[in-house]
Amino acid sequence: MSQIRSHIVGTGYSLPAKILTNDDLSKIVETSDEWISTRTGIRSRHVANDGEYTSDFCVKAAKMALANAGLTVEDIDFVIVATVTPDNTFPSTAAKVGKILGIRSGVAAMDVNAACSGFVYASQIADNMIRLGQIKNALVIGAETLSRIVDWTDRNTCVLFGDGAGAAIFQASEEQGKNTDRGILSIKIFADASHYETLCSDSGVSFNQKSGFVHMDGKEVFKMAIPSLVEGVESSLKLADLTLKDIDWYIPHQANARIIDSVAKKLEIDDSKVLVTVDHHGNTSAASIPLALAESIESGKIKKGDLVVMSSMGAGFTWGGMVVRI
Ligand code: ACO
């Protein structure tokens, strides 16, 4: 039986030009390259300059994705941006992207806040709309300027995060409905709100009219991230009736190299199949998976036909996984 599937027909990314190394950070807070790299695997991260906003990175990533897809803004009929660092409290960053790109009137635009799982959540929404025949081409973006919500005097958090955006164009395509087809084969998303305070902004618009700083119980996040990332992989593979033996690549949320290593070990995935960008991106939250995907497609690592499983975990807690044949 044939069915409509979303193909990822183009990807793009954008990173701020400014790079902050661990040595640079050691001049800001009491830390060292040795501490940061051994505890997190992070060596450098990109950080927005004054006057650069989340929407700027979205727009650059979107332009690259459109060019790679051979499409124009006229073809886009849905814009969704996953972010916890919007330009304005409202309207959405998706609306800002639409304004800058010149997306035509009538095209729906919205943001999703699912923290580090934002891209997987946004993909679920876009994929469902495509499957229902409501849209044909969706612009799906994960983007952050986390540097604006970290306390640069707190060494526990400021060393972990980075800025940037990744974008993908999802396009409707009639398929046979088999797991050998190209396109998005499955997506699973989850949340458990009992961990609301474990990782959060310490302020908020309705709470105290501020955006606040990242606050987290690092050890608890670390502990919970491992089973959540594992569940994202296992549940999405199961839904697609595939196993780990079938996959070519695993893209985990890029929070910490030690978390990624533990997840790969638990899943018994060979290290050579695990794509790691946390060393030069840091944790870019909703941007981390699409950034790694777009970079790996651009470098030629991920090729057409490759089977990729991705899993994410973040504040909420939220987590999830998706399986895509590129
Ligand atoms: N430089 C030097 N020392 C530091 C730094 C730093 N940047 N940060 C903390 N320390 C110190 C602490 O103060 C502590 O000192 P003390 O023993 O004198 O009190 C010591 O290092 C050890 O601190 P721990 O918290 O025990 O270090 P741990 O090994 O747990 O690593 C880390 C901390 C890296 C934050 C880890 O818990 C972690 O990665 N957790 C996951 C958090 C995460 O990834 N959050 C991102 C958002 S969530 C997500 O994306 C899934």
Q: Among the atoms of ligand 1, which is closest to the Cα of residue 158?
A: 7
Is residue 240 within 8 A of residue 127, CB to CB? The reply is no
Is 283 assigned a catalytic role? yes
Classify 115 in phi/psi space as left (phi over 0), alpha (psi -120 to 50) or beta: left
14-59 per-position pLDDT tens digit: 999 999 999 999 999 999 999 999 999 999 999 999 999 999 999 9
Q: Are residues 154 and 229 in the same domain?
A: no
Q: Are residues 62 and 95 in the same domain?
A: yes
Ligand 1: does its nearest atom lie under 6 Å from the Cβ of 37? Answer: no
Q: Are residues 169 and 194 in the same domain?
A: no
Substitution site in 157, 192, 256 for ligand 1 pocket (most atoms within 8 Å of beta carbon): 256
Is residue 48 within 8 A of residue 109, CB to CB? The reply is no
Provide the pLDDT confidence category of residue 1 given band limits of 50, 70 and 90: confident
Domain boundary at 107, 140, 175, which? 175
> Total structural domains in the chain?
2
- What residues contact residue 310 under an 8 Å CB cut-off, 6+ apart? 120, 232, 250, 251, 252, 289, 293, 321, 322, 323, 324
**Predicted pLDDT at 14:** 98
Q: Whose CA is closest to atom 49 on ligand 1?
A: 314
**Predicted pLDDT at 77:** 97
Task: Give the range among 171-180, 248-257, 284-293 with minimum mean pLDDT.
Answer: 171-180
Is 280 assigned a catalytic role? no
117-172 per-position pLDDT tens digit: 999 999 999 999 999 999 999 999 999 999 999 999 999 999 999 999 999 999 99
Domain boundary at 159, 175, 191, which? 175
Domain carrying residue 70: 3-175
Structure tokens at 316: 């909420």
**Predicted pLDDT at 2:** 85
CATH number, position 262: 3.40.47.10
Q: Are residues 303 and 319 in the same domain?
A: yes
What is the arithmetic mean of pLDDT over 211-235? 97
Q: Among the atoms of ligand 1, which is closest to the Cα of residue 288?
A: 50
Q: How far apart are the CA of 38 and the centre of ligand 1, in A? A: 11
d(CA 129, CA 142): 18
DSSP code for 203 = -
55-77 per-position pLDDT tens digit: 999 999 999 999 999 999 999 99
228-274 per-position pLDDT tens digit: 999 999 999 999 999 999 999 999 999 999 999 999 999 999 999 99
Q: Are residues 162 and 54 in the same domain?
A: yes
What is the number of alpha carbons within 13 Å of residue 232 lying toward its C-beta? Answer: 33
SS3 313: strand
Domain boundary at 132, 157, 175, which? 175
